[in-house]
Amino acid sequence: MPAITTNDLKNGITLELDNGLFQVVEFQHVKPGKGGAFVRTKLRNLKNGNVFDRTFNAGIRVEQAMLDKKDMQFLYRDGDDYVFMDTQSYDQTNVPPVALGDAADYLVEQAIAQIAFHNDEIVSVEIPASVELNISETEPGIQGDRVSGARKPATLETGKVIQVPLFVNIGDRVRVDTRSGDYMTRV
């Protein structure tokens, strides 16, 4: 494991600390008027997804975890697990829903995801920032109801419910932001 200093931290970097693997969500280098500089960070535990704050003295060394990332294609669900196929070697891997987190709400068959491994254990799954999905269920838009910015609930083909504008109907294909779960546009 390469050791880096807290001055070299960047968003998205993975650290191996004394009690597990953590991803840097955000960081801030602080140099107060008196006293030594320090780095204030927000870290996400890759095991359970919890986010917490931690402060490091500036310049101390921390271990950077080396992750092996592979592009894998989602094939199907097998019970609770999700089955992915390596696009290079065609090996299949079962991924538990805990490792997927919110990404499970946007996965459809044949979707490509980037899966990160650490010591042959899946630590995270990254999907594109936006995906295109079909609307499977929603109330029909009422003729003449043209209130600006009005929204209604709609169920995506994956089962996730999002808020969409009144003009979106069943069968429409929409682009959804996977980071926030918000409707972006009709495709």
The answer to whether residues 151 and 166 touch, using CB atoms and an 8 Å cutoff, is yes
Return d(Cα 30, Cα 62) in angstroms, integer: 18
Residue 25's pLDDT is what?
87
Residues of the chain with CATH 2.30.30.30: 3-64
Residue 147's pLDDT is what?
67
- Cα–Cα distances (Å) from 100 to 114, 122, 150, 152, 187, in that order, read 11, 9, 32, 27, 26
Does the domain at 3-64 match CATH 3.30.530.20? Answer given as: no
Residue 1's pLDDT is what?
58
With tokens 């999907």, the residue in question is 127
Which stretches of the chain are assigned E, i.e. beta strand? 3-5, 14-17, 20-30, 38-45, 51-57, 61-64, 68-78, 81-86, 92-95, 112-118, 121-126, 130-138, 151-156, 161-165, 173-177, 183-186
Q: Residue 18's CB: how many other CB atoms inside 10 A?
A: 5
Q: CATH number of 130-186: 3.90.100.10, 3.30.1490.20, 2.40.50.140, 1.20.1070.10?
A: 2.40.50.140
The answer to whether residues 114 and 107 touch, using CB atoms and an 8 Å cutoff, is no
18: left (phi over 0), alpha (psi -120 to 50) or beta: alpha
pLDDT tens for the chain, residues 1 to 187: 578 888 888 888 889 888 888 889 899 998 888 888 999 999 988 877 788 899 998 888 999 988 888 999 999 988 888 999 998 999 998 888 877 878 888 888 898 999 988 888 888 888 888 999 999 999 887 666 666 678 889 999 989 999 998 888 899 999 999 888 899 998 8
| Total count of residues recorded for the chain | 187
CATH code for the domain defined by 68-126? 2.40.50.140
Cα 45 vs. chain centroid, distance in angstroms? 13
Residue 146's pLDDT is what?
65
For the full predicted model, state whether its pTM sits above 0.85.
no
Q: Vertex 126, ends 24 and 183: CA angle to 5°?
A: 105
Residues of the chain with CATH 2.40.50.140: 68-126, 130-186
Return d(Cα 73, Cα 138) in angstroms, integer: 29
